[in-house]
Structure formats: C-alpha cells, structure tokens
Amino acid sequence: MDTTMTRSLRKVMAAFIEADGREITIYRPEFSRTATGGYAKGNYTQLPPQLFRLVMYKRRLTDLTTVKAEGEIPSLPYVLVGYYNSNIQRMDEFTLDGVFYRVQGIEPHTAVQQYTDRKVSQLIALDGEKVSWA
C-alpha cells in the first residue's frame, strides 16, 4: 500500500474513532521473573489518556470463537480500536463503564504502524473474582 492510500485510510479511521470514541487511561503492569520460572505482576505505569472506540466483534478481525451446540459464537464480543500509533500492548489494563478489562492481544495485521490505519486490541473483561468475556 502506498503512503497516499495509507494517509487517506488513517483520516477515515480517525473520523470513525472520533465519532464514538472514549478517552481511556491505560495501566501497564511490570512483570518480574519468579524463582520458579514464572512471572509476577509488580508496579503499574499509568499512560496518558488516549482515544479509542469499543467496537462489536467482527469475524474478519479475529478468529477467536467458541464452538457450542448452537454453532460458533465469538469469544470476543468487543474489540478496542485505536489510532495506528496508539500506545497499547498485550496485558495492559483499563476500566471502562465500571468494567475492568485486560488486553489479551493486538490484531497481528495492525501491529506494524507504517502499514496500517488502526490498532485493534482483543479484550477480556475481568469481573470481580471470576473471569467473564466482555
């Protein structure tokens, strides 16, 4: 994709995000290695607020589904869409409308800034002591 096309797509995506965007403050945990070879979550770094749009799941964005008797259903009813240069990574956390979210992954096709018009984050909602999908 040439740079003119990329710039045009970024303008359209920016308008899409801004039409129903929400300012979200991301908290990035630091991890340290434990004696048993695992990782322990430590301090958090608070990032400046960024504009994102919570978008209903579309199969074309990710293939994470659960197979039930009724057929395939999405495991991720929502994804978070941000500007191509959004500062968001796997394991980042935030709260939106009283729901605590963790970023489970970044859409692979949107991870390379120079070739994309957006960054799509796959989410899991953590509700109290139990884990449930958003």
Highest-scoring range by mean pLDDT, 26-35, 96-105, 125-134: 26-35
What pLDDT, on a 0 to 100 scale, did the predictor assign at position 64? 54
Q: Is the pLDDT of residue 41 over 80?
A: yes
Distance CA 33, CA 40 (A): 6
- Other beta carbons within 10 angstroms of residue 93's beta carbon come to 16
- Separation between Cα atoms, residue 12 and residue 26, nearest integer Å: 24
pTM, two decimal places = 0.75
Q: pLDDT per residue over 46-65, tens digit each? A: 999 999 999 876 555 445 55
Under the banding of pLDDT at 50, 70 and 90, the label for residue 132 is very low
Residue reference for tokens 């964005």? 61
Least reliable range by pLDDT among 35-44, 94-103, 109-118, 121-130? 121-130
Q: What is the CATH number of domain 3-132?
A: 2.40.10
